Amino acid sequence: MSFGRLAEEIAREAGDMLLAKRPARPEVVVTKSSPTDIVTALDQASEDLIRARIRAVRPDDAILGEEGGSTGGGRVRWIVDPIDGTVNFLYGVPEWAVSIAVEVDGEVVAGVVNVVPRGEVFTAVKDEGAWLAGERLRCNAGVPLDRALIATGFGYESRRRQVQAEVLAHVLPRVRDIRRGGSAASDLCSVAAGRVDGYYERGPQYWDYAAGGLIAAEAGARVGGLGGKPSNPGLTLCAAPGLFEELHDLLAPLDPERDG
């Protein structure tokens, strides 16, 4: 079975489990970076399921998961976010996803983002395109900055949020509008599907953008950081070529990677 097919099967199974077991308000079991950054018991259960399914088929592969950290070694590594958009999941906002990417020798070669409440499973294999429900995805091209619908997100720590608000105050008057979904993986897929024109955010971790970044790139978007860097927690940008550069040049002087 190919990496992409296996990742898709596992992401679908994890999503089905989460839908079946999600109570009206899942119990919060621990906080992470701040009291507003929460993990649920089902977040942990989802990652446990994903890890078990990977190990059953590929016991020698490495796995990097948001909840369980890094395990194993070898050329192949699975990058797992068991619920991207945990706060949305907690509150019943239908914008959360299971995200699984596969690296070979440090390069992402397959990615799946299952936006579970919408029943949408986005997939991509390197050099084979990005897909949703049998339709090949293409990002919006030729959109100037002042007509661009831009997605973004915010961190949990108060000083970072203050800076993000300052950055947003400069961006908002210069674009069509802003959207805030609450899931980086889903936002990147929205760029791929043409539902937004671009995306930027300070703070997403590798497991948040590994799969969605490949999906967006395979749909024709450029994905990266500031100053030619790859995507990173300092800042991740995504848009079609042309808009990417315009958005980059708007953000760079604002020093959006600072935390106060």
Active centre residues (catalytic): 66, 81, 83-84, 86, 208
**How far is 99 from 234, CA to CA, in rounded Å?**
20
Parallel, antiparallel, or unpaired for β 135-136 and 120-125? unpaired
Instruction: Select from 86, 109, 81, 111 the least CA-distant residue to 96.
Output: 86
Between CA 18 and CA 238, with CA 87 as vertex, the angle to 5 degrees is 100
Q: List beta partners, residue 125.
A: 110
Contact assessment for residue 68 and residue 78, using Cβ atoms and an 8 Å cutoff: no
Instruction: Select from 94, 2, 96 the least CA-distant residue to 42.
Output: 96
A 10 A CB-CB count for 209 gives 31
